[in-house]
Amino acid sequence: MPQTLLGFDYGRLRTGVAVGQTLTGTASALTTLNARQNKPDWDGIDKLIREWQPDGLVVGVPVHMDGTEQEMTKTARKFGRQLKARYNLPVYEADERLSSAEAEHNLGSGQDKAAIDREAARLILQAWLDEQGMQ
């Protein structure tokens, strides 16, 4: 059964969002949500959940190049737990090492941070789909 997934590149200021599907194994950049008072834009996420009705959520979890945790690792995992509690959907973690650097490279210099965050979310979700054998 084909599934729709939303992917998140969580950040304290902005969260990039992508949408993907298991039928084609592809992900597309969707939007960037700005944090509100140092919290995720839950209204914006609610709207995306209603619109796309995903079967699961993928959250990028940053780690150091050697795989050890960093400060944002715990923050991203907390965001994932909050998504699970709010929407009662499966939440999958994905390694997001170098996703923002690759996003900036893909888009070229001079892109705004919101576009980079959307592309990073796409890369995170695409990598997760690929790892599941859905490419």
CATH number of the structural domain 4-131: 3.30.420.140
pLDDT for the residue numbered 62: 83
Which residue numbers in the chain have pLDDT < 70? 64, 97-110, 134-135
Q: Give the separation between CA 117 and CA 120, rounded to whole angstroms.
A: 5
Q: Give the separation between CA 23 and CA 86, rounded to whole angstroms.
A: 26
pLDDT for the residue numbered 63: 75
Residue 113's contacts (CB-CB under 8 Å, 6 or more residues apart) are: 14
pLDDT for the residue numbered 135: 47
Residue extents of the structural domains in the chain: 4-131
